[in-house]
């Protein structure tokens, strides 16, 4: 299974003026959805070298996931999300991602949060998105830290708070996450 990389993050508005001039609720969510497409992009849901989920058959992966292996649950969720070797099924993807996320698997938490941002496999819910993205960010996932910074900056799923936005964006930037650095520069948050 090729590693997934979301690549459509072209909607960063340097001064935020367009958000203020249009119906904020619909555009706000749409803009965040586009900006958050890059979050959680390169995860492989591995178990730190013991088993490579990309090398397992669907049956082997399902067996491990059913036995409660969080990395296998995450990888199986991704396969259903991408339609990799199975019919694309967002509800099934969310089911497996949730199982892994509930065990504290940071990558699954980030993916599940992203599903809530976009309303894929679940109803769109920015509060729930922020909850899961925060869990991954608190575990040190740079992509999730970037996403949480965006949520704080825009007040989506959390109270708008520029200080918190900068805190999380800086954490991501300090790990070398270039989008966080670029975003902070474009928004004048350095």
CA distance 1 to 66: 20
| Structure confidence at residue 47 (pLDDT) | 55
DSSP 111-169: HHHHHHHHTSSS---HHHHHHHHHHHHHTT-HHHHHHHHHHHHHTSSS---HHHHHHHH
Nearest in space to 169 (alpha carbons), one of 188, 156, 150, 154: 150
CA distance 1 to 101: 21
- Four-residue CA torsion sign, 20, 23, 24, 29: negative
CA distance 77 to 58: 11
CA distance 120 to 77: 12
Token pair 């809530």 is at which residue? 116
- Four-residue CA torsion sign, 37, 41, 45, 47: negative
CA distance 106 to 70: 10
pLDDT at 127 over 60: yes
DSSP 39-89: TT-S-----TTS--GGGS-HHHHHHHHHTT-HHHHHHHHHHHHHTSSS---
Question: Percent of the chain, pLDDT > 70?
Answer: 74
What confidence tens digit (pLDDT) does each residue in 51-93 have? 788 889 999 999 999 999 999 999 999 999 999 999 999 999 9
Token pair 């949730």 is at which residue? 98
pLDDT at 31 over 70: no
| Structure confidence at residue 54 (pLDDT) | 82
Q: What pTM does this model have?
A: 0.77
Token pair 């059913």 is at which residue? 66
């Amino acid at each position: 299974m090729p590693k997934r990389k979301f690549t459509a993050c072209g909607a960063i508005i340097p001064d935020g003026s367009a958000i203020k001039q249009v119906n904020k609720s619909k555009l706000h969510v749409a803009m965040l959805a586009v900006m958050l497409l890059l979050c959680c992009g390169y995860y492989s849901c591995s178990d730190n070298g013991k088993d490579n989920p990309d090398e397992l058959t669907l049956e082997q992966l399902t067996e491990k996931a059913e036995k409660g292996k969080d990395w296998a649950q995450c990888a199986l969720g991704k396969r259903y999300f991408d339609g990799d070797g199975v019919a694309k099924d967002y509800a099934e993807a969310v089911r497996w991602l949730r199982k892994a996320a509930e065990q504290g698997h940071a990558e699954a938490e980030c993916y599940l949060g992203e599903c809530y941002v976009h309303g894929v496999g679940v109803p769109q819910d920015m509060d729930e998105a922020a909850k899961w993205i925060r869990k991954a960010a608190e575990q040190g996932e740079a992509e999730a830290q970037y996403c949480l910074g965006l949520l704080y900056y825009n007040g989506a799923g959390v109270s708008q708070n520029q200080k918190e936005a900068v805190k999380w964006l800086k954490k991501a930037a300090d790990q070398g996450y270039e989008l966080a650095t670029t975003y902070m520069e474009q928004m004048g948050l350095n």
